[in-house]
C-alpha cells in the first residue's frame, strides 16, 4: 500500500513538473488564494513572527510582507517540483551561482567546502549547485536534512533533491559520510540549513536574531571544525519571479582557529542581513520562536 501511495504521489508530482513555468506560476497564484484566504495556513504564526521581528514597521507594511511571503511560499512549492524534470541548462537560466570558483579553488588545495544557510529564498534549488561547477563535476554536492514523518513525502523530497545529482544525508549520519568521502579522496560541498529550532535539552547557545532571543543549533559548526572545511555563507536573492542569485561568501577557511560559536554567530548576523533586505522570502510559517529563555532556565535548573 505504501509503495502504491508513493507511486501515485511521484507520478502526479512529475507530471506537474513538466508544465512550463508560466503555467506553474498561474497554479501558484491559485494555490495562494486557497492557502491564504480560505485555509489561512499558519497565519497566526506568520504574523506573530513578523510583528516580533519588525516592531518598527506599521500594520500595512507587516501585512504586505505577510502576503508577499504566502505568494513566495506557493511559488517555492511549484519551483521545487520543477526540479524533477528541468534540464541543467534550463535551470541555470533561472539560478545564477556566484563564487563557486572559490569553492573549486579550495578543492584544488585539498580542502572541502561547507555551505551554511537558512530557510531563505528557494533553498531546494541549492541541491543543484553541482551542475554549475566547471572543473569539479565529480565532487559530491549534498544537503543535510531532517527526515519527514510521512514516509511517502520524505521519499519524494529526497528524490526531488537528488534529481540534479545531489546527495541527501540525514543529519545524524553526516559525519560518517564526510569521513567516508575523505577516505575515498572525493571532494565534497554540503549545505547545512542551520536556522531550525533545537529541543530544550539540545540548546547550547542563545543569540539575538530578528529582535528576539533565539536558541540555535551549533552542531554544524562543530562538524565544520572537525572536518576543517572552508565555510561559506550561502546568500540568496530573488531579483524577480523565477530568478535567483546564489552567492557563496567565505566566512572562514580556518574554522579550527575560530573562537567558540564564532561561525554560528557570523552566520546568523549574515542571515539577518539577507532577511532584512527582502523579508518576504523567509520561512515565516515555521514556529521558530516557540522556545523561551525563561522556560529554558527553568528546565536547566530543574536537572
From residue 143, alpha-carbon distances to 20, 118, 119, 140, 192 in Å are 26, 12, 13, 10, 7
Residue 303 above 80 pLDDT?
no
The predicted pLDDT at position 5 comes to 77
Looking at the chain, the whole-number percentage of residues with pLDDT higher than 70 is 99
How crowded is the C-beta side of 291, counted as CA atoms within 13 Å? 22
pTM higher than 0.85 for the full model? yes
Percent of residues in the chain assigned helix, strand, coil, to nearest 5: 55, 20, 30
Give the model confidence (pLDDT) of 265-291 as tens digits.
999 999 999 999 999 999 999 999 999
DSSP 153-182: HHHHHHHHHTTTS-EEEEGGGHHHHHHHHH
Banded model confidence at residue 114, pLDDT cuts 50, 70, 90: very high
Residue 137 above 70 pLDDT?
yes
Kind plus residue range of the DSSP H or E element containing 28: helix 21-32
Q: What is the DSSP pairing of strand 95-98 with strand 243-252? A: parallel
The predicted pLDDT at position 1 comes to 67
Between 302 and 88, whose confidence is greater? 88
Give the model confidence (pLDDT) of 67-107 as tens digits.
999 999 999 999 999 999 999 999 999 999 999 999 999 99
Give the model confidence (pLDDT) of 22-70 as tens digits.
999 999 999 999 999 999 999 999 999 999 999 999 999 999 999 999 9
Give the model confidence (pLDDT) of 225-265 as tens digits.
999 999 999 999 999 999 999 999 999 999 999 999 999 99
Residue 197 above 90 pLDDT?
yes
Amino acid at each position: 500500500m505504501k509503495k502504491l501511495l508513493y507511486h501515485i504521489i511521484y507520478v502526479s508530482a512529475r507530471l506537474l513538473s513538466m508544465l512550463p513555468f508560466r503555467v506553474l506560476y498561474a497554479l501558484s497564484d491559485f494555490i495562494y488564494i486557497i492557502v491564504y484566504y480560505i485555509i489561512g495556513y499558519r497565519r497566526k504564526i506568520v504574523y506573530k513572527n513578523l510583528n516580533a521581528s519588525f516592531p518598527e514597521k506599521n500594520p500595512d507594511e507587516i501585512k504586505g510582507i505577510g502576503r508577499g511571503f504566502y505568494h513566495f511560499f506557493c511559488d517555492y512549492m511549484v519551483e521545487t517540483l520543477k526540479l524533477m524534470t528541468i534540464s541543467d541548462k534550463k535551470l541555470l537560466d533561472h539560478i545564477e551561482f556566484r563564487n563557486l570558483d572559490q569553492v573549486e579553488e579550495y578543492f584544488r588545495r585539498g580542502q572541502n567546502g561547507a555551505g551554511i544557510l537558512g530557510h531563505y529564498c528557494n533553498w531546494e534549488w541549492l541541491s543543484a549547485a553541482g551542475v554549475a561547477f566547471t572543473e569539479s563535476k565529480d565532487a559530491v554536492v549534498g544537503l543535510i536534512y531532517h527526515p519527514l514523518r510521512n514516509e511517502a513525502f520524505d521519499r519524494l523530497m529526497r528524490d526531488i533533491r537528488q534529481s540534479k545529482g545531489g546527495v541527501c544525508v540525514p543529519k545524524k549520519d553526516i559525519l560518517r559520510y564526510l569521513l567516508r568521502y575523505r577516505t575515498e579522496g572525493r571532494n565534497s560541498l554540503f549545505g547545512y540549513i542551520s536556522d531550525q529550532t533545537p529541543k530544550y535539552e539540545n540548546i547550547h547557545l542563545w543569540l539575538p536574531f530578528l529582535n528576539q532571543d533565539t536558541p540555535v543549533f551549533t552542531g554544524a559548526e562543530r562538524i565544520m571544525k572537525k572536518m576543517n572545511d572552508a565555510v561559506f555563507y550561502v546568500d540568496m536573492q530573488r531579483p524577480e519571479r523565477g530568478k535567483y542569485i546564489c552567492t557563496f561568501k567565505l566566512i572562514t577557511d580556518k574554522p579550527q582557529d575560530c573562537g567558540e560559536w564564532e561561525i554560528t554567530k557570523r552566520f546568523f548576523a549574515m542571515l539577518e542581513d539577507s532577511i532584512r533586505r527582502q523579508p518576504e522570502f523567509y520561512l515565516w510559517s515555521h514556529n521558530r520562536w516557540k522556545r523561551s529563555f525563561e522556560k529554558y532556565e527553568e528546565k536547566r535548573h530543574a536537572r
